[in-house]
Amino acid sequence: MKRVTIFLIILFVGCFAVDRVGGIVMQYIHHHSNSMTAYKYRYLFNECHEDMVLFGTSRCQAHYVPQIIEDSINMSVYNGGVDGSNSIYSHFAVFNLLLKTHKPKCVLLEIMPADIRNTNDNFDAIAFLGPYYGENEQVDSLFRLAGLDWKYKLSHLYRYNSKSISDIGGLTMHYNTESRKGYIGREHPIIYPDYLSPNDEEAVPVDTAKILCLNQFHEICKKEKVELICAISPIHTIDSLPECRIIKNWAKSRGIILFDYHCYHPISHKKQYFCDQMHMNSTGSELYSKIIASDLRRRVK
């Protein structure tokens, strides 16, 4: 028993030491990595100075061309959409971390149906922000809600788990989005059906916690005097999605401007503008960006 106790103590101490040293190494790697996500977060949290910042998932990243919008509204624009950040919790966390160093004049939040649905992966995208644990109380409260708090306290290596490989790989690549200001267009269409079938899936229940998070997002914008505008960019669909109607009602009840293009027929019904059901290709994005830019020109103060 004595030997096993010594073995376990040495194991524990060894793991603790490697974990802490590994955490320091990964922190350096994360802050010097040029992977898509690390680069974007680094820019948003340290260097962002644009007047308008866009938040959202890969749909935001691929659908909004900042140069087109800038030319229209005479404001600098940065596309802060992050691939894989599939929930409002992630956008909320990124926004709070951004506010530590920069207060934009206007924020455009690209909302998608999953942002209000109760799904199994509600908190998966929060893990991308593990490296920023302990830097902001609002963000840490999300980690507590996701049940990640104690894991990040216990292990420094675990904070980097979700993006470890891309962060390490990012040391060898230079993913330059400076010229594109955060926009990453999708150039290559993927094989998808030739036909569009009506949406016969039952609407998944709305997650009230996500609605509360949306409300909090709005409250923080009001408190920081940041104008909040919401948008739903085109989805390759025939029918209007019930979740989008719920988002519309929510925006109306809060007095928030919402541009709902999810079932905009000139784009939504045309497969030449899409590379899959949820993402437009660069042709579609440029067309949509012109449309949203003219809307923003009329509405942004």
Interacting residues with other proteins (CB under 8 A): 1, 3-4, 7, 10-11, 14-15, 18-19, 22, 26, 124, 155, 157-158, 160-161, 164-166, 169, 190-193, 276
Q: In this structure, are residues 78 and 48 in contact, taking their beta carbons and an 8 Å threshold?
A: yes
Which among 46, 41, 54, 12 has a CA at the least distance from the CA of 300? 54
Alpha carbon 200 to its chain centroid, in Å, reads 27
For other proteins, give the closer residue by CB, 19 or 260: 19
Alpha carbon 127 to its chain centroid, in Å, reads 12
For other proteins, give the closer residue by CB, 218 or 279: 279
Beta partners for 77? Answer: 52
CB of 14 to other proteins, least distance (A): 4
**Which distant-in-sequence residues (6+ apart) come within 8 Å of 249 by Cβ?**
none
CB of 169 to other proteins, least distance (A): 6
For other proteins, give the closer residue by CB, 261 or 273: 273
For other proteins, give the closer residue by CB, 84 or 242: 84
CB of 282 to other proteins, least distance (A): 17
CB of 22 to other proteins, least distance (A): 6
Backbone φ and ψ of 233, nearest 5°? -80, 165
For other proteins, give the closer residue by CB, 146 or 246: 146
**Which distant-in-sequence residues (6+ apart) come within 8 Å of 104 by Cβ?**
48, 50, 51, 52, 53, 98, 226
Alpha carbon 92 to its chain centroid, in Å, reads 9
Which among 159, 55, 47, 139 has a CA at the least distance from the CA of 97? 139
For other proteins, give the closer residue by CB, 136 or 164: 164
For other proteins, give the closer residue by CB, 73 or 114: 114
User: Which residue, chain included where needed, has tokens 């990964």?
Assistant: 26
CB of 156 to other proteins, least distance (A): 9
CB of 19 to other proteins, least distance (A): 6
Integer CA distances (angstroms), 48 to 34, 52, 178, 181, 209, in order: 16, 10, 11, 10, 29
Q: Which two tokens stand for residue 178?
A: 């400076």
CB of 59 to other proteins, least distance (A): 17
